[in-house]
Homo-oligomer: A and B are copies of this chain.
Amino acid sequence: MNPQSDVARLLRDASSIQLIGHISPDGDAIGSSLGLAWALRTMGKVARVACADPVPRNLLFLPGATAVRQRAIAGPSLVVAVDCSDERRMGSAYDAQMLAGRPLLVIDHHESNRGFGDVNLIDPQAAATAQIVLRLVEHLGVPLNATIATCLLTGLITDTQGFRTPNTSSGVLADAVTLCDAGASLTEIMDQSFGRSPLCKLRLWGSVFERCKLEDGVLWTEVSRQDIDRAGASSETLSGLVNYLATIDEAQIAVLLEELPNNRVDVSLRARPGYNVAVVASALGGGGHELAAGCQVSGTLAEVRAMVLEALAEQMLARA
């Protein structure tokens, strides 16, 4: 949308910058925000990172992660939305009244992003927002160091599920080489991202694996608050589960329904190429990519399950 030079000028002109990652932050939201914040600090800027929801436990090893606040601070000269496909994805970290009049820069790689900022740096070709930030840091002339590289490599690795998503080009691997050579530890990041799970996760996933159902190419499972509590686990424990379900040969579409407090259900959808679960998620008030989307819906597990499976059956029919 806007050229990188506009973005660079905006950042150079700002003295204090508030970065905001998306709600339910993942490795790319946190890694890209922190990576850019560290780069801006080497340029003499005051840079702060906010996220409406807490930083997940397995990302707390990132430099600066414990200093992430849940709300933006008043008075920055510039606000940057990082990895947010629309304004709502900033959640309560963005207070429109408090930040009125502050220019908003959007840096993102989601295809659905319509450019809700005053200036927009959006590249749907990028496998992660971290790749866009890496290009930007290079353009700004900031030398990469281990701190910046660790944050960005984490974004790249988590968003590509460890270089496993179909958009992992050899350019993504080449960027990873650049970041490793700047001091990021591939081993540590892989280990933090995928190599550590509590035993309660093993138990919870085990029970899910045993009870999930396959119906007409849709592999679905639901997890109640009681299931989570009984395993001594938390919602975070379910991270990655739907991606794993999507690897099952017999499944064209994988669905994870998680009961939330207040009679709501979190719905995660994954599909094989050729399907479009973003359509289903959007119809239910959510969004995402064609092959990976989600939404939160009011109702009981049984009610939401019926709603989602019906919408998916139409998807399957539309393709058949």
Of the listed stretches A46-54, A68-76, A164-172, A308-316, chain B binds A164-172
What is the distance, in angstroms, from A4's C-beta to the closest C-beta of chain B?
24
Whether A209 contacts B202 by the Cβ 8 Å rule is yes
* Complex contacts, A203 vs chain B, CB 8 Å: 209-210
Q: Tell me which residues from 204 to 240 in chain A have a Cβ below 8 Å from any Cβ of chain B.
A: 205-210, 212, 214, 219
Closest to A208 in B: B206
Supposing A173-B173, A181-B170 touch, asked if A186 and B163 sit within 8 A by C-beta, the answer is yes
With A and B bound together, what is the CA distance between A144 and B203 in angstroms?
46
Q: CB distance B250 to A198 under 8 Å?
A: yes
Interface residue? A177 (CB, 8 A): yes
A14 part of interface (Cβ distance < 8 Å): no
A128-160 vs B, Cβ < 8 Å mask (1 yes, 0 no): 000000000000000000000000000000000
Name A's interface SS. helix
Contacts of A195 in B (CB 8 A): 164, 247
Bound-state CA distance A174–B164 (Å) is: 17
Task: Collect the chain B residues with CB atoms within 8 Å of residue A197's CB.
Answer: 247-249
How many copies of this kind of chain does the complex include? Answer: 2
Contacts of A283 in B (CB 8 A): none
* Distance of A241 from chain B, by nearest CB (Å): 11
Q: Given A194-B247, A203-B209, A210-B206, are A177 and B173 also a contact pair (CB < 8 Å)?
A: yes
- In Å, the complex CA distance between A39 and B293 comes to 43
> Does A162 belong to the interface (CB within 8 Å)?
yes
Contacts of A165 in B (CB 8 A): 187
Closest A-B pairs by Cβ, 9 of them: A206-B209, A170-B180, A206-B210, A164-B190, A202-B209, A206-B206, A166-B187, A173-B177, A199-B250
A-B contact pairs, 9 of them (CB 8 A): A162-B164, A163-B186, A168-B187, A169-B186, A170-B176, A170-B177, A199-B249, A199-B251, A205-B206
Residues on A facing B (Cβ under 8 Å): 162-166, 168-170, 173-174, 176-177, 180-181, 186-187, 190-191, 194-199, 201-203, 205-210, 212, 214, 219, 245, 247-251
